Amino acid sequence: MILRLDDIKKYFPVRHGFLQRKMEYVKAVDGVSLAIKRGEIFGLVGESGSGKSTLGYTVVGIHRSTAGKIIFKGEDLATRQHMDVRAISRKLQIVFQDPGSSLNPKRTIRQTLELPLKVHRLGTRRERLGKLRELLQKVELPEEYLHNYPRALSGGQRQRIAIARALAVEPEFIVLDEPTSALDVSVQGKVVRLLLSLAKEHDLTYLFITHDLSLMRNVASRVAIMYLGKLCEVAPTSEFFKNPLHPYTKMLLSSIPVVSEEEESLKPERSVPKGEIPSPVNRPSGCGFRTRCPLAMDICAQEEPRRTLVNEEHEVHCHLFNNSRIKGDYDWND
């Protein structure tokens, strides 16, 4: 394992009421445990407000976790104590959804790409320039772009610069936060292909965050579904699409648009959830999905479903499976 999340929580305080005296918490991520293998592309899927991006930001240290452990190559990042923070943060990078806002419009591409090298004190001025040229080659852009400002580039080219910036410090693990969803459809495929070839070439591990299940079918080795800050289901991609178990997963899969009759026949029966995703401040008791679930039972309002392993790699968090299968914790020694 390269990364292990152990009961990670990220709560944001919100004040309201008379004189803003009442304090409540948005439980954006609420007890997520995951293990990601070196070299894999792990897909994390959910609707807006599911907490998937907050989880990614917490992994790379943009947010500090409220509780739980983030173990990266054996070191606990959540406490970020007793370690060289700079060296660890070099190994964990992020590519944001919107390259337009993630690149500083006042900096040239050279300044943007050189900054992480300077922060991490890598190379002389001449060596850094050589490195920047190499980075542009890797993301298939001409080196003349070093002198341009982001506004002179298209959305796809800006995202390539954002990818080059993440690669500059030679990371091992990259969080990709919806890296193609702000791009034109015509360039999305090219950026995905670039990300896949870079992963192979540099032995990278990706946490690929998206709301696009069709994309995950083509790129991820395993897929996890999040809903209201918690995991619903985790499975290898082929099994995930062939044998979805959680009612929420089935609902998401049944709504994917397909082009062939064969694909249509593989989809679960169409199910439409009731209502809207609830606020993470007022999460329903028991199972967070129960207010929308067509199969909800009495116990779903009383108890939170536990993690159930249906086989070694397929887990589901739902009372429909709690009684008949093996419950257990991860084998973290794997």
Q: Which residues bind ligand SF4 (CB under 6 A)?
A: 246-247, 287, 289-290, 293, 295-297, 300, 305, 318-320
Q: Smaller CB distance to ligand SF4: residue 155 or 284?
A: 284
Q: Which residue has the tokens 């947010």?
A: 63
Rounded distance, CA 26 to CA 280, Å?
Answer: 5
| 184 CB-contact burial (10 Å; exposed 0-12 / middle 13-18 / buried 19+) | exposed
Write down the least CB distance from residue 244 to ligand SF4, Å. 12
Select 154 or 302, whichever has its Cβ closest to ligand SF4. 302
Nearest to 10 by CA among 23, 28, 22: 28
State the minimum distance, in angstroms, from the CB of residue 272 to ligand SF4. Answer: 14
Nearer to ligand SF4, 205 or 291 (CB): 291
Residue 36 or residue 223: which is nearer to ligand SF4 going by CB? 223
Residue with Cβ nearer ligand SF4 (110 or 246): 246
CB of 215 to ligand SF4, least distance (A): 24
Cβ 287 to ligand SF4 shortest distance, Å: 3
Angle CA 170–175–179, to nearest 5:
105
Q: Could you identify the residue written with the tokens 């991006």?
A: 53
Minimum CB distance to ligand SF4, residue 135 (Å): 45
- The strand ranges marked E within the chain are 3-16, 22-36, 41-45, 67-72, 75-76, 92-95, 173-177, 205-210, 222-227, 230-236, 307-311, 314-317, 326-327
Task: Return the ∠ at Cα 224 (arms to 221 and 226), rounded to 5°.
Answer: 160
Residue whose CB is less far from ligand SF4, 56 or 280 = 280
- Beta carbon nearer to ligand SF4, 90 or 319: 319
227, burial (CB in 10 Å: exposed 0-12, middle 13-18, buried 19+): buried
Min dist. Cβ of residue 321 to ligand SF4 (A): 8
- The arrangement of strands across the sheet holding 3-16 comes to 22-36, 3-16, 67-72, 75-76
Shortest CB 30 distance to ligand SF4, Å: 15
CA dist 254 and 258 (Å) reads: 10
Tell me which amino acid residue 189 is: G
Beta carbon nearer to ligand SF4, 52 or 290: 290
Q: How far apart are CA 5 and CA 42, in angstroms?
A: 13
Query: Given the complex with ligand SF4, which of 294 and 328 has the nearer CB atom?
Result: 294
| Mode of pairing for the β-strands spanning 230-236 and 67-72 | unpaired
Q: What b/e string do you get for 300-317 counting C-beta neighbours within 10 Å, with b at 16 or more?
A: beeeebebbbbeeebbbb
Rounded to a whole number of angstroms, the minimum distance from the CB of residue 274 to ligand SF4 is 11
Question: Would you say 34 and 231 are in contact if contact means Cβ atoms under 8 Å apart?
Answer: yes
Q: Closest separation between CB of residue 232 and ligand SF4, Å?
A: 7
